[in-house]
Every structure is written in structure tokens, then in C-alpha cells.
Amino acid sequence: MRTEQIAAVLLAAGTSSRFGEDDKLIADLNGKPVIAHTLEAVASLAFGELVAVTRPIADAPDIHRRLERRGYSILVNDRPEEGLASSIVRAVLHVMPIKRCKGILICLGDMPFVPQSHYNRICLAAEDVRSVVASTDGFSSSPPAFIGRKHFPELLTLRGDQGARALLSRGVQVEAMGSSLIDIDTPEDLARD
């Protein structure tokens, strides 16, 4: 599917509880914040819509500035403790009225090693509004993932921190190269780079 028919949804509302006092998304990774790596990879493709779900601006002013500069529609999840699902639901409710968007590409702000080529492979594997295409490391399904519009009602029923894992496990699996699916949860994860 062409990226112009897809809404890229960046999830960045987590509390970084395992990272300690600092916000993992603005932690330095190779000279720039973790989230900047994800933003650059996503920006290299021409998505029909850019949507980000993040914490309130008072909690994440630097992230809001970066998202605004890149042209994202910013949705605030003021209840991130409800888990990843609460961010997905907010994004789906925002995208549903945008009929030109045939589905969403879920991207995580704390996955800075995913290259543009992998995002592109996920989009190319999506055939239509019924498609579900997940990333895999060869063992489990994960974001980045495309979920077609037909599955939006199911996404709206999600609860907790598992996100859309069950739906993703039933979809097409696109294997990622090397360690590109590593997410940053702890300071030690940054040191692995």
C-alpha cells in the first residue's frame, strides 16, 4: 500500500518508569534524543497523516516541540498508566474520520533502531483495509505494524499494556534485520548500542 494512504501513528506517552528519573525519549543516543531517530526514519516516507500520542506538554515540552516541527497532529494521553492500549484507542479515534487513510502504521518512540527501509517493507506488505502486518524478530510479533481500517473497531476495545499483540500475531510477519526491534526501556538499553 502506498504510504500516502496510511496514517503513521507514533506512540510516545509512556512514563519511562523503568528508565529512572529521566525521560528515555529525550535521552542521548549517538548525539541526539532517542525519539529523534524514530522521527527521522518516519519522516523519510510520505505518509498521508502524521499522528503522535504523547504526555501533556508540561510533562514533555521538548517532545511536543519536535513533533510540532515535523507536522504531527498531537494527541495527549493524560492517563498513560492505563497502558499502551489507551494511546492506540486515542489514535484510532482521531484517524477514523480521515477516510483517505486505509490503515495505521504503529511506530514506537522508544524504538530508535528501526530503519526507514523496515517501515517501508511493512507498508508494502499491506494490501488493503483488511491487512495486518507486524514486525518480528523471528520469535514474536511487535510494532512497527500496519493495521488496516477494517480492524479499527477491534482496536477500540483494547485495554492494558499488551496493545494489539493478539491481532498482530495473526497478521503477516515481516522479519526485521539484526537488533533493530530493540526498544529503550532502561539506561542499560542505551549502552547496548
**CA–CA distance, 180 with 142 (Å, rounded to integer):** 12
Fold of 3-191: Spore Coat Polysaccharide Biosynthesis Protein SpsA; Chain A (3.90.550)
Helix (H, G, I), strand (E, B) or coil at 143: strand
Domains of the chain, residue spans: 3-191
**CA–CA distance, 183 with 150 (Å, rounded to integer):** 28
Q: Report whether 137 contacts 88 (CB < 8 A).
A: no
Residue type for 56, please? P
pLDDT tens digits for 124-155? Answer: 999 999 999 999 998 889 999 999 999 999 99
**CA–CA distance, 98 with 113 (Å, rounded to integer):** 29
Q: Count of residues for the chain?
A: 193
pLDDT tens digits for 43-67? Answer: 999 999 999 999 999 988 999 999 9
pTM attached to this predicted model: 0.92
